[in-house]
Amino acid sequence: MNQESPERHIRNSKGTIRLPIIVSITLVAGMLIGSTFFSGGKKLTDVAKGYAKFREVLMLVENNYVDSVNTEELVDYSITKMLEKLDPHTAYFNSEEATAARSQLESGFDGIGVEFNIYNDTVYVVTPLSGGPSEAAGILSGDRIMSVNKEPLSGPGVTNAQVYKLLRGKRGTKVEITIERVGLADKMDFAVVRDRIPTYSVDAAYMVDSEVGYIKVSRFSETTFDEFKTALKTLKADGLKKLILDLRGNPGGYMERATSMADEFISGDKLLVYTEGKDSRFDRKTRSHVDGNFEKGPVIVLVDEGSASASEILAGALQDHDRALIVGRRSYGKGLVQMPVKLSDGSELRLTISRYYTPSGRSIQKPYELGKGDDYSQDLSHRYESGELFNADSIKFDKTKEYKTDGGRIVYGGGGITPDVFVPRDTTLNSKYLVELYSKNIIREYALRYANENQKKLEKQTFDEYLNSFQISDAMLSELVKDATRAGIRLNEKELNHSKPVIQSQTKAIIGRYVWGRKQKGGLNNEVYRVLNPTDNVYQRAVLLFGKASELEEGNFSSLNTRK
């Protein structure tokens, strides 16, 4: 065994030589960004001192540490831990994470165009996306993807990230996919050419009856406003007079899409949102300025604890101007604005630069302490434990942050948008057995198989006929239970009967989507929502509240006891 002499000269690897150059370039770029975009911070000499110390430690570790190290991982870890000392929403994404995060908000991605599910270490095609290359190639719902470009894609350890990496890629490139299909003994090989796959954020848009329309928006991405305008125009042509806008579970996205949507409802020149930061160059005010497509007519907006950021901008503007009745539960409470800064290696820093405020002056940001992100992340658990998700009286208002809407109604800042009409979370039909069915995708997989086996028979009727007459039979339920038992879920008859209505409605909704939803244009999942909404307690309450929404629109605030 050869040993090195203690007096040896420490030699740098090529990577070590490049490291200070890369870090120095990054520092210079950071200084330029700082001098261009920021002011009023610490002197650059203080920043340089901190950088010099970090560089010194990093070089010592790289050159002298007893084991080999991954320098890039160390740097990423250091940045992440540093940012944990700031607010809960300033964040760092490595290049892969940044690309994936951006793809959720951009107009689409390049890939083969399938929605997939991983179940029992197998990748199942939920549905080929309408008009996409997989549909054109003949891939069907229920197909099992066994390998991609001869790389196995089944067995223990298969992950979503692995599937994304193999299926997504530059448009025009070919992907060799091996498929197993129910009813066929031999595997099938497909050559699929990747193409641009659009992403959608308006999940549903349909008429509930001759006057009431429903639109579900799942996030605020590049195309959200255009999708919304198209949906609204279609519904107006169908007789829309009253609207339910569902923002539940919407985590936000681009602020400009939310304010553009608010402008469709709010007339005249009115403030929609404003931001204030340490640097006045990040202060801005956004006002309504266009003739919107629904400035008259009662509006009900649904929110819950999953509605955040841009969702709260929209709900807050409509509430402050007395333009919509807000129904549901208190929203998430994210009122910090992040500026994405793309770094030299493709990674991204999302830096909090300001706070946003609703027209009445409310900051929606819920309280936090610097460096205590763990406590902050437990807020929703605390809401559950305190009973806030089930009882309006459990919501604690900060009386020092009392504001008024245009019509003089009292609203509160300091932690999300509090609804005008509270509706509790409905857990009455939950059970451990139901949770286990969800966790192993039993309902979804059974519905997929049933739809594939009975598609021709089901397609002989319209979706409306299916909606009104089709029932999940006891025989079907027994087959689903057998699937669950084979997957290791022990049958509990009492819990099965307790959760039976949920299991039946979920199964019916998914079958409807598989059979008729593929024909929908624009990414709409109307079939799912048309089955499930009538069983949703928040939706059920909302359709009965248009009397109050109309009073609100007419300015009749005295008789509008919206806090009950």
pLDDT digits (tens, 9 = 90+) for 313-345: 999 999 999 999 999 999 999 999 888 899 988
Question: Is 99 contained in some domain?
Answer: no
- CB proximity list for 251: less than 8 A, separation 6 or greater: 219, 306, 308, 309, 311, 332
Count of CB atoms situated within 10 Å of the CB of 397: 14
What's the pLDDT score for residue 19?
36
Question: Is 546 contained in some domain?
Answer: no
Catalytic residue, from 201, 288, 307, 309: name it.
Answer: 309
Count of CB atoms situated within 10 Å of the CB of 477: 16
pLDDT of 33 higher than 90:
no
Residue 309's SS3 state is coil
Question: Is 544 contained in some domain?
Answer: no
Domain count across the chain: 4
What's the pLDDT score for residue 224?
94
Residue 116's SS3 state is strand
Q: Which residue has the higher pLDDT, 425 or 120?
A: 425
Q: Are residues 400 and 477 in the same domain?
A: no
> Can you give the CATH number for the domain in which 270 is found?
3.90.226.10
Contact status, residue 246 vs residue 215, Cβ threshold 8 Å: yes
Angle at which helix 474-486 crosses helix 442-458, to 10 degrees, equals 140
Average pLDDT, the chain: 85
The C-alpha atoms of residue 447 and residue 219 are separated, in whole angstroms, by 27
Last residue of a domain, one of 371, 402, 426: 426
Question: Is 8 contained in some domain?
Answer: no
pLDDT in tens, 353-385: 999 999 999 999 998 888 777 777 778 888 888
Q: Are residues 420 and 453 in the same domain?
A: no
pLDDT in tens, 165-188: 899 889 999 999 999 887 778 898
Q: Are residues 172 and 318 in the same domain?
A: no
Question: Is 464 contained in some domain?
Answer: yes
pLDDT in tens, 522-538: 778 899 999 999 999 99
- CB proximity list for 455: less than 8 A, separation 6 or greater: 514, 515
pLDDT of 139 higher than 70:
yes
What's the pLDDT score for residue 107?
66
Q: What backbone phi and psi angles, to 5 degrees, belong to 241?
A: -125, -25
User: Which of 1-5, 227-231, 395-399, 525-529 comes out lowest in average pLDDT?
Assistant: 1-5
Question: Is 100 contained in some domain?
Answer: no
Q: Are residues 176 and 242 in the same domain?
A: no
- 420 band by pLDDT with thresholds 50, 70 and 90: very high
Q: How far is CA 552 from the centre of its chain?
A: 30
Q: Are residues 307 and 402 in the same domain?
A: yes
Contact status, residue 82 vs residue 91, Cβ threshold 8 Å: no
150 is catalytic: no
**Most distant pair of Cα atoms in the chain: their distance:** 90
Q: Are residues 149 and 163 in the same domain?
A: yes
H/E stretch holding 350? strand 348-357
Q: Which residue has the higher pLDDT, 135 or 384?
A: 384
Last residue of a domain, one of 170, 198, 226: 198
pLDDT of 227 higher than 60:
yes
Last residue of a domain, one of 426, 446, 462: 426
Catalytic residue, from 87, 203, 320, 322: name it.
Answer: 320
What's the pLDDT score for residue 22?
32
Q: Are residues 230 and 133 in the same domain?
A: no
What's the pLDDT score for residue 134?
87
Question: Is 140 contained in some domain?
Answer: yes
pLDDT of 104 higher than 80:
no
Q: Are residues 112 and 174 in the same domain?
A: yes
What's the pLDDT score for residue 9?
35
Q: Which residue has the higher pLDDT, 31 or 269?
A: 269
- 541 band by pLDDT with thresholds 50, 70 and 90: very high
- CB proximity list for 196: less than 8 A, separation 6 or greater: 108, 109, 110, 171
What's the pLDDT score for residue 559?
60
What's the pLDDT score for residue 131?
64
Mean pLDDT of 114-123: 77
Q: Are residues 209 and 184 in the same domain?
A: no
309 is catalytic: yes
What's the pLDDT score for residue 560?
63
What's the pLDDT score for residue 37?
44
Count of CB atoms situated within 10 Å of the CB of 193: 13
Q: Determine whether 521 is exposed, middle or buried from the number of CB atoms within 10 Å of its CB (0-12, 13-18, 19+).
A: exposed
Q: Are residues 418 and 476 in the same domain?
A: no
Q: Are residues 50 and 136 in the same domain?
A: no
Mean pLDDT of 108-129: 79
What's the pLDDT score for residue 454?
94
Residue 111's SS3 state is strand
Catalytic residue, from 334, 420, 431, 548: name it.
Answer: 334
Contact status, residue 220 vs residue 257, Cβ threshold 8 Å: yes
Question: Strand 195-198 vs strand 202-207: parallel, antiparallel, or unpaired?
Answer: unpaired
Q: Are residues 163 and 283 in the same domain?
A: no
What's the pLDDT score for residue 145?
93
Contact status, residue 225 vs residue 257, Cβ threshold 8 Å: yes
347 is catalytic: no
Supply the range of the domain harboring residue 479: 432-535
Question: Is 4 contained in some domain?
Answer: no
